[in-house]
């Protein structure tokens, strides 16, 4: 609908006396969709006061996913998470946060000056992947802090691990807390029984999802869903105005509109084909000797206890028994088979699939895995991901992030309070956050990740020489 309106306007003789400055002239546009890049002009609605075509798109999103209200996000899930947390918290509020949340959650905690209590998920010792958040852990934390206002969980995670959101919501609501689920990687959930259930249908109050990560939509497109009456819809709407651009891209919004309308028409057929392709892939890789793919082949019969559920659309290629690090294996996939993967960690590679992948995609991946597997001998020494406890904290996140400090060499940082973040990216989950104490196991983990080829950096540029620490 929106795409058609934009095309008709872009090919009409209408003289564009409005922004943007390229004025839809192809000599300046090249091959980019400049003809559809407009501003809020008559007939095209206003995202933040929608009553026409954009209101229709948001209503369609809510109906498809089963939420009470859906907002279009043009600043990715990052903007939606910032908006949601800002709307749901007041300064000083206590919030229960899964430690494996995205960095945007931490930035929102800084802004709101909330008091976070962190939950560490169980770590799968073989791959180093963060497991599910246990409802029992949530209940134990809420008993200790019954004044908690908000619970934030990532489900599914970047690697596809889902938590028992229904049970977590039951526990949280019993204590009067609201549940926000970062489902940035879960926009495809809820449409087929071969995948975990969508957190929207599990009782979550607010759910954020990136359409572009697993669905046919352009990068930077996201949805914020309001799923219950426990939250103030209008406060969320105001926060979306604050944390998203006041000049939303019509190209991005047309991409979302097209994606949602495609789902409305063809979701059953598209997901049936996707499920069939994944099942065929699982069957096809059962005879791999040294490599394994989480949730497929041999691993299907020995699902990790740390995982409540797993999205098998995420292909986690476990290299732990081959002697190759994740980055080394990804480099061979790229060089020898022209396959570019999503991300790497110390002992695994993540290859993303979606309902847009056809038979050829899965056949090529299967062939590449067997070709590489055949040239690998079992490693004498397996790669183990360092596991460390949650570092102790003595200063609040919001205070530490604003505090003045000094650079400290890495050898001298142990025992000091860090004033910057340390990340492994992707996926952008912090190993250290401002206000925490640097420990020897944390430094060991960061060094191991960096040595394997994983990108490690700190928010103020201290790593690898050291960190910015409190005086």
Q: What is the CATH number of the domain that holds 456?
A: 3.90.105.10
CATH of the domain at 151: 3.40.640.10
Q: Which pLDDT tens digits describe the chain residue by residue (471 residues)?
A: 898 998 898 889 887 767 566 667 766 566 778 889 999 999 999 999 999 999 999 999 999 999 999 999 999 999 999 999 999 999 999 999 999 999 999 999 999 999 999 999 988 877 778 999 999 999 999 999 999 999 999 999 999 999 999 999 999 999 999 999 999 999 999 999 999 999 999 999 999 999 999 999 999 999 999 999 999 999 999 999 999 999 999 999 999 999 999 999 999 999 999 999 999 999 999 999 989 999 886 554 445 678 999 999 999 999 988 888 899 999 999 999 999 999 998 889 999 999 999 999 999 999 999 999 988 776 656 666 666 788 999 889 999 999 999 999 999 999 999 999 998 877 778 899 999 999 999 999 899 888 888 889 999 999 999 999 999
Asked if residue 270 is part of any domain, the answer here is: no
Helix (H, G, I), strand (E, B) or coil at 303: coil
Asked if 152 and 242 sit in the same domain, the reply is: yes
Are residues 96 and 150 both part of a single domain? Answer: yes
Residue 340 belongs to some domain of the structure: yes
**Measured CA distances, 47 to 168, 249, 422 (Å):** 33, 10, 36
182 & 35 share domain? yes
Give the residue numbers spanning the domain of 192.
2-261
Query: In 3D, which of 389, 427, 374 has the Cα closest to residue 159?
Result: 427
Position 386 in a domain: no
Q: Are residues 252 and 284 in the same domain?
A: no
Q: Are residues 197 and 336 in the same domain?
A: no
Q: What is the pTM of this model?
A: 0.93
Domain shared by 142 and 254, yes or no: yes
Close Cβ partners of 26 (under 8 Å, ≥ 6 residues apart): 34, 35
Residues 428 and 292 in one domain: no
* Domain identity same for 107 and 176: yes
One domain for residues 363 and 412: no
Domain identity same for 123 and 11: yes
Same structural domain for residues 257 and 280?
A: no
Q: For the chain, how many structural domains are there in total? A: 3
DSSP string, 212-236: HHHSSS-TT-EEEEE-STTS-HHHH
**CATH code, domain with 331:** 3.90.1150.10
Residues 84 and 190 in one domain: yes
Q: Are 334 and 364 contacting, i.e. CB atoms less than 8 angstroms apart? A: no
């Amino acid at each position: 609908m929106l795409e058609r309106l934009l095309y008709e306007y872009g090919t009409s003789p209408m003289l564009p006396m409005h922004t943007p400055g390229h004025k839809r002239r192809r000599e300046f546009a090249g091959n980019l969709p400049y003809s559809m890049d407009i501003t809020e002009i008559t007939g095209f609605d206003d995202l933040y006061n929608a009553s026409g075509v954009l209101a229709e798109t948001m209503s369609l999103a809510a109906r498809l996913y089963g939420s009470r209200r859906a907002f279009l996000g043009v600043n990715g899930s990052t903007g939606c998470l910032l908006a949601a947390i800002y709307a749901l918290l007041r300064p000083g509020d206590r919030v229960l946060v899964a430690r494996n949340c995205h960095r945007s959650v931490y930035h929102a905690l800084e802004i709101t000056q909330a008091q976070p209590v962190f939950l560490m998920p169980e770590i799968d010792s073989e791959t180093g992947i963060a497991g599910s958040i246990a409802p029992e852990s949530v209940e134990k934390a809420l008993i200790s802090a019954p004044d908690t206002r908000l619970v934030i969980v990532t489900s599914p995670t970047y690697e596809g691990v889902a938590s028992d959101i229904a049970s977590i919501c039951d526990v949280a609501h019993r204590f009067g807390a609201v549940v926000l689920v970062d489902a940035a990687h879960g926009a495809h959930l809820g449409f087929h029984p071969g995948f975990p259930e969508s957190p929207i249908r599990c009782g979550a109050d607010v759910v954020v999802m990136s359409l572009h990560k697993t669905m046919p939509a352009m990068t930077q497109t996201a949805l914020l869903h309001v799923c219950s009456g426990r939250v103030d819809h209008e406060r969320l709407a105001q926060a979306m105005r604050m944390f998203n651009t006041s000049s939303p891209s019509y190209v991005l919004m047309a991409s979302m509109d097209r994606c949602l309308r495609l789902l409305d028409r063809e979701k059953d057929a598209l997901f049936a084909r996707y499920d069939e392709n994944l099942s065929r892939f699982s069957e096809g890789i059962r005879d791999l000797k040294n490599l394994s793919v989480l949730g497929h082949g041999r691993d299907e019969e020995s699902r990790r206890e740390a995982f409540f559920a797993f999205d098998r659309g995420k292909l986690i290629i476990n290299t732990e028994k081959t002697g190759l690090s994740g980055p080394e294996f990804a480099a061979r996939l790229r060089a020898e088979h022209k396959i570019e993967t999503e991300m790497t960690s110390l002992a695994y590679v993540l290859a993303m699939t979606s309902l847009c992948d056809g038979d050829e995609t899965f056949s090529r991946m299967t062939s590449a895995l067997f070709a590489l597997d055949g040239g690998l001998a079992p490693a004498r020494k397996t790669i183990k991901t360092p596991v460390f406890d949650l570092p102790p904290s003595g200063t609040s996140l919001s205070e530490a992030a604003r505090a003045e400090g000094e650079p400290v060499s890495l050898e001298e940082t142990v025992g000091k309070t860090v004033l910057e973040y340390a990340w492994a990216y992707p996926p952008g989950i912090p190993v250290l956050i401002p206000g925490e104490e640097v420990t020897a196991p944390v430094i060991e983990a960061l060094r191991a990740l960096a040595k394997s080829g994983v990108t490690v950096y700190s928010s103020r540029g201290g790593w690898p020489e050291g960190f910015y620490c409190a005086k």
